[in-house]
Structure 1
Amino acid sequence: MYLTLLNGTGYVFNVDDYMELRTKHRIMGAPVGTANTKGWSPNQSNLPVELTKFETQLVLDEHIAKLVDKSEALKVAPTPDEAVEWKAQFDSRIAGQSETLKAEKLRETERYMDKILAGKRNKLVKQGQLDKAAALRSEDVLNEMAQNFKFDPQNALVEVPCEHLCRHSGKIISHPLVDTSSLKYRIFKDLWKRGKFVTSGDAFGADFLVYPGDPLIYHASHIVIIQETPIIKPLDLVAKVRLSVIVNKSCVFAYEGDDGAGIHYQTVTWCNPSK
């Protein structure tokens, strides 16, 4: 599996690769492509999928995928033969969309043929063309639709997010994207190795969100706060725990123990004595 290096992190352009990352390796990423022709919407996004730097580094460390930089190859001007080939591919995609839309229009016409025939016949009767109205058949309507069909290339979907259609080359990136010795990355990796679904917690004032299953199905169950030391200031403790209560999640403080035993997790819950 190959990830494409863009903006300092990995992107997935192949839907099968993304589904494997999500279902088999619990790597969520975020679809950032446009899924409609009326502008980008965060609720209707599509491929490609942008992975966080931590997610990208993790799949590299676990040898799940390789990271490829294609920037140099894709900046090179095409040769005359490549330009001709690309133009032929482009025209073929436009023609394919035109034929598909035409076939769909004809299917829709057939679906409502009774109403269309009735409307056209009534119009001809009002115009005094009784013989023409009586002779009108469904084949005539379909032939008229096919002859009058016009496809505007401005409405074509040409920027389909997928793997590159043309030949290209790239180089494998071997250097790390993040500081793999940092506490935040090591906690992210440790949570993942424990079988958790982990995403960024920025929107909830935390470092990470932990889910009991795929975030498409489950809400996050915990927010994770990273502490550089085991000592937690009382005001920070109250603020973070109250925040977790507001968003209906458990609060977990993650830190590295002084005993050198690795990463520790402490779950804190809010207790209301009045209840």
Structure 2
Amino acid sequence: MEGGRRVPLLVSDKKAFVWDIDDIAVIRTEYRVCGTLLGTLPHLSQQNVFLGVPLVLSPEEAVLLVNKGFAVLVDDPAAHSSPELAALEKWNLGRSELVQSQIAALEAKDTGSHSKDMSMSEKAQQKREQREARRAAATAIKTDADAALSVSRVPVQAPRPPRTAPTYTVIIPGTSTSFSWYTQEPHAYSTIQAAKDAGIWSYPSDLTERAKCAVFQDLWEKGYYMGGGLKFGGDFLVYPGDPLRYHSHFTATVIESPDKSIMPMEIVAHGRLGTATKKTHLFCTWDEAVGDVSYVSIEWAGFG
């Protein structure tokens, strides 16, 4: 991505977050990196199925995006400075003006539609009263042996419920980039090593973490999407397409060296778990000496 805009990954406590919705869409649709949404949605603070921003990236996802030149790591706490009182008041005033202008536009639109609805409701009320009058005139006369009484029904009009105060949805910019006291450029790092030297990032720090990054990148380069595999007994879940559209085909376990031994019971456990969850289990071995990843798949075969 030479010369293009790099997505800022806001680092806090050595975790990479994305707050901008447009950036979240870019890294998912163009870079095939999904991350995990953490925040609650407006008016649905108790829900736990569909979450909102921010998006937190796994360390492997963040390393991939930076190494590929798609993103930069930003020291988010350092990028914020204490605003002056005049700047804060100006920002609050601008925000209030933005809200009031949106409300005024929505009220004008609502008034026009309400007037139209009122004219239509008045016509409907007139027709309803005419129907009630005709029904009252056609009411049968009740007679008995002594006298005949004429009974006419007077239509009773139910009181209209009071009109509740209207509610409006307004759009308020919420990203830090709109603040004059927030500057990313002096605190952005385009390489993992530069971020490590600045003390805001530490992953990968050992052979196991380097192996996970290498396997993640190799699978990504093969066109797969990856997600967390902890629930299925591995390091990653491997999807043939976007996880919103596809089930994962593989569960991947990373082995940091070709010389590392694997217990037979571990092979059996992964094979049984993969079969139970309708996935093939992958053992992904990273050979740091030659910079190569090799794969071995395990699945039960039929007997007899």
- Give TM class, smaller chain: 0.7 to 0.9
1:169 is matched with: 183
1:190 is matched with: 218
Distance 1:160 1:230, change over 3 A: same
Q: Deviations over 1:147-202 (max 9, x none)?
A: x8566xxx876776535321221312422430265222221122222222112112
What is the number of residues matched between the two proteins?
Answer: 251
2:234 is matched with: 206
1:80 is matched with: 85
Distance 1:112 1:60, change over 3 A: same
Q: Which has the larger radius of gyration?
A: 2
Which residue identity is paired with 1:92? Answer: E
Q: Equivalents in 2 of 1:164, 1:114: separation in Å?
A: 47
Which residue identity is paired with 2:11? Answer: L
Distance 1:190 1:258, change over 3 A: closer
The percent of aligned pairs where both chains have the same amino acid is 23
**SS state at 1:251 partner:** strand
Unaligned runs of 5+ in 1: 126-143
The Cα of 1:94 is off from its aligned counterpart by: 2.9
Q: Does 1:179 align with 2:204?
A: yes
Q: Equivalents in 2 of 1:18, 1:258: separation in Å?
A: 32
Q: Is the 8 Å Cα contact of residues 60 and 212 (structure 2) preserved in structure 1?
A: no
Q: Equivalents in 2 of 1:194, 1:58: separation in Å?
A: 14
Distance 1:100 1:9, change over 3 A: farther
Of 60, 69, 82, which residue of structure 2 is paired with 1:63? 69
Distance 1:162 1:225, change over 3 A: same
**SS state at 1:16 partner:** helix
Q: Equivalents in 1 of 2:94, 2:75: separation in Å?
A: 25
Q: Does 1:45 align with 2:51?
A: yes
Q: Does 1:232 align with 2:262?
A: yes
**SS state at 1:219 partner:** coil
Q: Is the 8 Å Cα contact of residues 223 and 240 (structure 2) preserved in structure 1?
A: no
Q: Equivalents in 1 of 2:300, 2:212: separation in Å?
A: 25
Q: Is the 8 Å Cα contact of residues 284 and 296 (structure 2) preserved in structure 1?
A: yes
2:297 is matched with: 267
Which moved further from structure 2: 184-193 or 96-105? 96-105
**SS state at 1:210 partner:** strand
Of 243, 250, 254, which residue of structure 1 is paired with 2:284? 254
1:217 is matched with: 245
Which residue identity is paired with 2:249? Answer: S
Which moved further from structure 2: 170-179 or 100-109? 100-109
The Cα of 1:39 is off from its aligned counterpart by: 0.2
Alignment of 1:61-140 (within 5 A): 61-76=67-82, 78-99=83-104, 101-102=106-107, 105-106=110-111, 109=114, 113=118, 116-117=121-122
The Cα of 1:4 is off from its aligned counterpart by: 1.4
Q: Equivalents in 2 of 1:75, 1:124: separation in Å?
A: 68
The Cα of 1:262 is off from its aligned counterpart by: 2.4
CA RMSD of aligned residues (A): 3.5
**SS state at 1:164 partner:** helix
The Cα of 1:220 is off from its aligned counterpart by: 0.8
Unaligned runs of 5+ in 2: 1-5, 131-161
Q: Equivalents in 1 of 2:249, 2:243: separation in Å?
A: 10
Which moved further from structure 2: 241-250 or 10-19? 10-19
Distance 1:259 1:272, change over 3 A: farther
Q: Deviations over 1:179-232 (max 9, x none)?
A: 265222221122222222112112222100111011111111100012344532
Q: Equivalents in 1 of 2:298, 2:249: separation in Å?
A: 13
**SS state at 1:175 partner:** helix
Which residue identity is paired with 2:95? Answer: F
Distance 1:150 1:211, change over 3 A: closer
Distance 1:46 1:191, change over 3 A: same
